[in-house]
Structure 1
Amino acid sequence: MSDRNSEGGRANDASFDGAQSGSGEDPEPGFPIVSRTDFAETTFLLEILHPLLARAARPGQFVIVMTHDHGERVPLTIADFDRDRGTVTLVVQAVGKSSREMQSICQKGRKIFAIVGPMGIPSEISHAKKVICVGGGLGVAPIYPQARAFKDAGAHVIGIVGFRSSNLIFWEEKFRAVCDEFIVCTDDGSAGMKGFVTDGIKQAIEAHGDIDEVVAIGPPIMMRACAETTRPYGVKTMVSLNPIMVDGTGMCGGCRVRVNDRIKFACVDGPDFDGHAVDFNDLMSRLHRYQSEEREAMERYSDSCRRLAMEPSPTMPVGGK
């Protein structure tokens, strides 16, 4: 069982700065990408060699990544970790400037310049005898280590994952290996149950009647829907929040969220919170605050990529001859 007190939960208790070689012998700074898997046009997985981080990581924690020495600090939830291999796994969706940059640069054999973590309080793997682990979209990846941890603790695990369509599904076999029951939901009905993860939650709760806990990770609107679905049943529901974040230590205040009408910081007080107590309206309002700046950064990045693509190769004369 993962214990928040014994496992060191605060963001800076076991942080490892990545601006140094993972082996200590390679002069190039950073940590090697040992494998990459592309799940869809904009979704990809990176397995990164970082033995210290792999040894310290717990379900629910996250890292802050810098692709290169001038890169933005990007918070990413740890999707998996393998202590024997000394690797951590991150799943990224390329939706903005920095994540698009990661999609282009982060290839097998290259290095991530810096990784700081594990950060945040590990998820509490309770004594629940029957638990529902819910992941939607990109939240499917970080719910996996929690499902595995509950299974290892002896719980009956019901996994529910949701995607827009069947072509976006990933890790189905991994989930089936750690779940006693597994439900796939797709918006268009191309695989599994047609509908949303909330439909799967209702089905599971009504079929069992003795669910102790629901854990949900995904877009804020999905987590809010999950919390509202479980509220009438009185089932404890934990959600993992990923608000705007800069330093990851609580100093910037960018990741503040309202929980039970009190201010909390997702990076040091979370990322897990009681879904029935989170002010999701405030959270989603804050997430949209910098949309214009994000669009501007993306436009500048796209323009620079287009200009670079038009420049002749330094080894190729103009005209290609």
Structure 2
Amino acid sequence: MYKILKKKKLAEQIWLMDVEAPRVAAKCLPGEFLIVKIDRYGERIPLTICDYDREKGTVLIVFQVVGASSYRMAELNEGDFFEDVVGPLGCPSELTKKTPEELRKMNILFVAGGVGTAPVYPQVKWLKEQGVTADVVQGAKNKDLVILEDEMRAVCGDHLYITTDDGSYGFHGLVTAKVEELVEKEGKHYDLCVAIGPMIMMKFVALLTKKLGIPTVASMNPIMVDGTGMCGACRLIVGDEVKFACVDGPEFDAHKIDFDQAMKRARMYASEEGREYLREKEGKTHHGGCGNCGGQQ
């Protein structure tokens, strides 16, 4: 059993929870995720780790209420328990494989959209601990949906640029407009961009950064379902290869991801008829992770 130590409402339908999970906290790195399950009947829910405290043995998760399972999660309170918390899963950010000296030579930009701010934060915090301050463009539909602003400012200061679609806070416009302004009007140079948020946002960030010549990584955690590769939900095409976000990612070269295919496939996967069609069409490459059926590419 995994105790919920803290619960906080960040915005409408967006919640933060601090959970006691010492084994996960001891091993996790930025970019990885975990799976929570409320009880024996509950759905497995993959969530990116927003923060962790190795000494206290806790991990921070942020989630948005989008269906029955996340609604049930939001009904839990401090002192309640998850039956299961499994992790860390997935591959950590490629940045964690670089030395502090290598990182300090890089100018790094993060683009966060909506709840995608949660998985961006631990990477920016980790970089700060290595002596690197990254630029962060954080977008939301309006001021009320801006989350984790104080936490983000604590690790990147005035390198945080907030944008809102309606202009109610910060820069008036989409994150792509702000990125373009930073590069073309303010003369910023970036060696790497990391984009995390809705797929449509990541698609247009990737199109822009390709034009600007900035290598870009995108996190495909929005399409994960069971977190093991067995359900086939997070199958995507990266270059000319079949990949699975939960076992091969969640981060991939954004300039090689077929975002249109991934978005169309996600819509189809939402129905039982669509899932059956995909199983028949994709055959042995429908899922990955077992290593026995050819699903792992």
The letter of the residue matching 1:153 is Q
Partner of 2:180: 202
- Does the residue aligned with 1:184 lie in a helix, a strand or coil? strand
Q: 1:70 — aligned with what?
A: 41
Q: Is the 8 A contact 2:11 2:147 kept in 1?
A: no
| Alignment deviations for residues 185-217 of structure 1 (CA, whole Å, 9 cap, x no partner) | 011111100111112211222324421110010
**Which position in structure 2 is the counterpart of 1:189?**
167
Equivalent pair of 2:8/2:16 in contact (CA under 8 Å):
yes
TM-score relative to the length of structure 2? 0.84
* Aligned match for 1:55, one of 23, 26, 43: 26
Letter in 2 for 1:254: A
Matches within 5 A, 1:111-190: 111-125=81-95, 126=98, 127-128=102-103, 129-180=106-157, 181-190=159-168
Find the aligned partners of 2:227 and 2:269 in 1 and give their Cα distance. Answer: 18
Contact 2:124 2:133 in 1 (8 A): no
> Counterpart of 2:152 in structure 1: which amino acid?
F
Instruction: Quote the Cα distance in structure 2 between the aligned partners of 1:286 and 1:101.
Output: 27
Shift of 1:70: 0.2
- Range that drifts further, 245-254 or 116-125: 245-254
Is the Cα–Cα contact under 8 Å of residues 216 and 254 in structure 2 kept in the other structure?
yes
* Rounded Cα–Cα distance in structure 2 between residues aligned with 1:205 and 1:271: 27
2:73 corresponds to which of 102, 119, 123:
102
Report the AA paired with residue 19 of structure 2.
I
Gaps of 5+ in 2: 273-297
Tell me the C-alpha RMSD between the 2 structures: 1.7
Shift of the alpha carbon at 1:247? 4.3
SS in 1 for 2:72: helix
Letter in 1 for 2:120: I
Q: Distance in 1 between matches of 2:12 and 2:190?
A: 36
> In the alignment, does 2:237 pair up with 1:266?
no
Maintained 8 Å contact 2:2/2:19: yes
Alignment size in residue pairs? 264
TM-score (norm 1): 0.78
Which residue type is aligned with residue 37 of structure 1?
K
Is the 1:159–1:182 contact (alpha carbons within 8 Å) kept by the matching residues of 2?
A: yes
Establish whether residue 233 from structure 1 lines up as the match of residue 212 from structure 2: yes
SS in 1 for 2:11: coil
Structure with bigger helix share is 2
Residue identity over aligned pairs, in percent, reads 44
State the one-letter code of the partner of 1:220.
M
- Aligned partner letter, 2:261: D
Counterpart check, 1:86 vs 2:57: yes
1:15-56 deviations in Å (ceiling 9; x for gaps): xxxxxxxxxxxxxxx100000000122111011011111111
1:110-139: CA deviation from partner (whole Å, max 9, x where unpaired): 001111111000001143421111110010
Shift of the 244–219 alpha-carbon distance from structure 1 to 2, 3 Å rule, reads closer
Distance in 1 between the 2:21 and 2:35 partners?
Answer: 14
> Retained in 1: the 8 A contact 2:223–2:245?
no
Query: Does residue 222 in structure 1 map to residue 222 in structure 2?
Result: no
**1:182 is matched by which residue type in structure 2?**
L
- The 2-side partners of 1:246 and 1:182 are apart by 31
Aligned-partner residue type, residue 41 of structure 1: E
- How far apart, in 1, do the equivalents of 2:33 and 2:43 lie? 16
Give the C-alpha shift of residue 153 in structure 1: 2.6
User: Partners in 2 of 1:199 and 1:222 — Cα distance?
Assistant: 12
* 3-state SS of paired residue (1:151): helix
Equivalent in the alignment of 1:289? 268
Which residue type is aligned with residue 188 of structure 1?
D
In structure 1, runs of 5+ residues without a counterpart are 1-29, 294-321
